[in-house]
Structure 1
Amino acid sequence: MKFKNIQEEKKYYEQEASQEEFLKWYKHQDLPTYEKPSVTVDNVILGWQDEQIKLLLIQRKANPFKGKYALPGGFVDKNEDTLEAVIREVKEEVSIQLDSDCIEQLKTIATPNRDPRTWVITVAHLTYLPCMSQVQIVASDDAKEVEWVSLAVNKAGQIKLDGKHGLIDLNQLAFDHEEIIKEAVIRIKNRLNYAPTILKILGSTFTLTDARKVYSKFLGLSLEELDNSNFRKTQGKFFEELGFETKPTKGRPKKIYRLK
């Protein structure tokens, strides 16, 4: 079939041809006219150990940003869902098998030039890793080293990362991972008063004291400032009481709860 111009051809295949004919035409005629970004995933993985919020960071083995701290992640494979990519990349880079129930999508970032290699859109995720003390991390693939660093937020909302070699400057993280971590913290703080999913890092059950400790790390408050009786009154509606500990670590058994 001959057409007077490209506009007439385009109109025919979009409005008159069958879908099969349209898709065949589109693949060879229209698709090449569009820019094609690459897609990656990045993952803010949080845990709880020694009464500290822990964030998993890798140290990049190769360029770009060789030697810089970064979040685990990588390129999405052909015909792969971003959630599948998150699970695969974390397994490849740090040898952790994630449960999809502990992962939520955080934000899509398409800022031009965020990756010096090419146009890359990333889909950032947030993962709550329960019982992280039972998880063994091993650096592989793009990771030279892997490390759990302590994360705390002060009253002004400023984030502090403390690694094994001292404080880590957020401005020195690879790519725009500083922005992604800040987005994760904002989401967690905003949800504390209606959906405190961050408590998943404590495991399937927890005590109110442990819950208060987690809250305190994101609010920049001491346990004394986060009064126990008031906490129970304002936050208790999100928890289901299950009874008492069967094997208390010390002292009298405490009541245990789970998220509703």
Structure 2
Amino acid sequence: MKFNNYAEEKKYYEQQANQEDFLKWYQKQDLPKYEKPSVTVDNVILGWNEDEVKLLLIKRKANPFRGHYALPGGFVDKKEDTTEAVLREVKEEVGITLDENYVEQLKTIATPNRDPRAWTITVAHLTYLPDMGAVKVTAGDDAREAHWVTLRADREGTPQLFYNEKEIPLDELAFDHKEIITEAVHRIKNRLDYVPTVLQILGATFTLTEARKVYSKFLGISLQELDNSNFRKTHGKFFIDMGFETKPIKGRPRKIYKLKRFN
């Protein structure tokens, strides 16, 4: 079929041709005109250990940002869903097999020049590890090292990172991972009063004191400022009473709770 001009040809394939013929034409004629960004995933993986919120970071083995702390992540393969990419990249980089039920999309970031290599769009994710202590982390792929670092927030929601009690400057993180971690902290903090999914890091059951400790880390306040009786009154609706633990580590059995499911 002959056309007098490109506009006439385009109109025909878009409005008259069948979809199969349109797609063949589009891939040959129109698709090459558009810039093609790479797509990556980054993952904010949180756990709980020794009364502290823990964040998993790697130290990059290669350029760009060689030797800098970064979130686990990488490029999305062809025909791969971003959640699938998260599961694969985390397994390759730090040896952890994640349960996708604890993985949620956080934010898509397409800021120009966020990656010095090329135009890269990232889909950031947020993951909760219910039993961090049972997880073995091993550096691999692009990771030279992998560390659990302590994550806290101040009253304004600004994250603070510490490794071996030494603070990690946020501005020294690779790429825009400072912004991604900050976004994760803000999401968690803003949802504490209606969807406190972050409590999944405590495991299947927890005490009210443990829940208060997690809240205090993201609110930037002391545990004493979260009155126990008032906390039970305002947040008890999110918990299922599971009675008393059957095998206390020491002392009297503690009253334990389970987090309700959120749709």
Q: Tell me, yes or no, whether TM beats 0.5.
A: yes
Deviation at 1:130, TM superposition (A): 1.1
1:234 paired residue number = 234
Post-superposition CA distance 1:67-115 (Å, at most 9, x none): 0000000000000000000000000000000000010000000001100
Correspondence for 1:58? 58
SS of residue paired to 1:224: helix
Alignment of 1:19-38 (within 5 A): 19-38=19-38
Structure-1 residue corresponding to 2:183: 183
Q: What displacement does 1:204 show?
A: 1.2
- List per-residue Cα deviations over 1:161-201 (Å, max 9, x = no partner): 00137110001100000000000000000110000000000
Aligned residues: 260
Equivalent residue, structure 2, for 1:41: 41
Aligned-pair Cα RMSD in Å: 0.8
Given residue 209 of structure 1, which amino acid in structure 2 is its aligned partner? Answer: T
CA distance, structure 2, for counterparts of residue 220 and residue 36 of structure 1 = 42
TM superposition outliers: structure 1 runs of 4+ over 2 Å: none
Point out the more displaced range, 34-43 or 219-228.
Answer: 219-228
- State the 1:159 CA deviation: 1.7
In structure 1, what is the Cα distance between the partners aligned to 2:76 and 2:243? 44
Give the whole-Å Cα distance in 2 for the aligned partners of 1:208 and 1:248.
16
In the alignment, the residues of structure 1 paired with residue 158 and residue 88 of structure 2 have an alpha-carbon distance, to the nearest angstrom, of: 31
Correspondence 1:74-223 to 2 at 5 A: 74-164=74-164, 166-223=166-223
Letter in 2 for 1:71: L
Counterparts of 1:209 and 1:122, CA distance in 2: 37
| Counterparts of 2:160 and 2:24, CA distance in 1 | 53
Q: Secondary structure at the match of 2:225?
A: coil
Q: Which one is further off, 34-43 or 242-251?
A: 242-251
TM-score (norm 1): 0.99
Give 1:160 deviation, angstroms: 1.2
Q: Deviations over 1:21-77 (max 9, x none)?
A: 101101101111111100000000000000000000000000000000000000000
Report the residue type matching 2:149 in the other structure: V
SS of equivalent to 2:183: helix
Cα distance change on mapping 1:196 and 1:165 into 2, 3 Å: closer
Unmatched 5+ residue regions in structure 2?
Answer: none
Per the TM alignment, residue 116 of structure 1 is displaced from its structure 2 partner at its CA by: 0.5
Aligned partners of 1:122 and 1:11: how far apart in 2? 34
Q: Secondary structure at the match of 1:167?
A: strand
What SS class does the counterpart of residue 121 from structure 1 fall into?
Answer: strand
Mapped contact 2:91–2:97 kept (Cα < 8 A):
yes
CA distance in 1, matches of 2:184, 2:59: 20
- Kindly state the Cα deviation for residue 154 of structure 1 after the two structures are TM-superposed: 1.7
Structure 1 stretches lacking a partner, 5+ long? none
CA apart distance, 1:157: 2.3
Q: Letter of the aligned partner of 1:76 in structure 2?
A: V
**Alignment partners' CA distance in 1, 2:83 and 2:124:** 10
**How many angstroms apart in 1 are the aligned matches of 2:156 and 2:216?**
13
In structure 2, distance between residues paired with 1:223 and 1:125 = 28
Query: Counterpart of 2:256 in 1: which secondary structure?
Result: strand
Q: Percent identity?
A: 72
Letter in 2 for 1:53: V
